[in-house]
Structure 1
C-alpha cells in the first residue's frame, strides 16, 4: 500500500486489516488465483462499512471474471 496514496500508517493498517478480514470471509468462494490490491487516493476517506462493501463487490467481479475466462 503506497504511502503516496494513503498518507498515515494508521490508515494504511486499517485498510489492510479490512482487506484481510474480507478475504478471510470470502476465500471459500474465490477462485484459486493470486490477488493484488492497489490503494488509490481517497481510499482512507472511506468508512469501514464502505470498504467492506467495496471489497464485497471486488470479490464478486474477480469471481465472475475468472468464471468467464474458464468458459472461453
Structure 2
C-alpha cells in the first residue's frame, strides 16, 4: 500500500495538473471568436423557424397516417 507521503504527493500532483488544465482552458477561450449579438439573434430566429416547420411537417404526417388508419379500420 502507498504510504501517506505518496498519497499526499499524488493529490498535490493531481491538483497541479488540474490547475494547469484550467489555465490552458482559459487560454483557449481567449482564442475563440465569439459571435456578436446580431449573429446570435439571427441564428436563434432560424432555429425557431426550423423547429416550427419540422413540428408542422410531423403534425401533417401524423394527420395523414391517422386518416389512413381510420379508413382501414
Q: TM-score range by the shorter chain?
A: 0.3 to 0.5
- Determine which structure has more spread, i.e. the larger CA radius of gyration: 2
Considering fraction of residues, name the structure with more helix: 2
Q: Return the structure number with greater relative CO, CA threshold 8 A, min gap 6.
A: 1
With normalisation by structure 2, the TM-score equals: 0.35
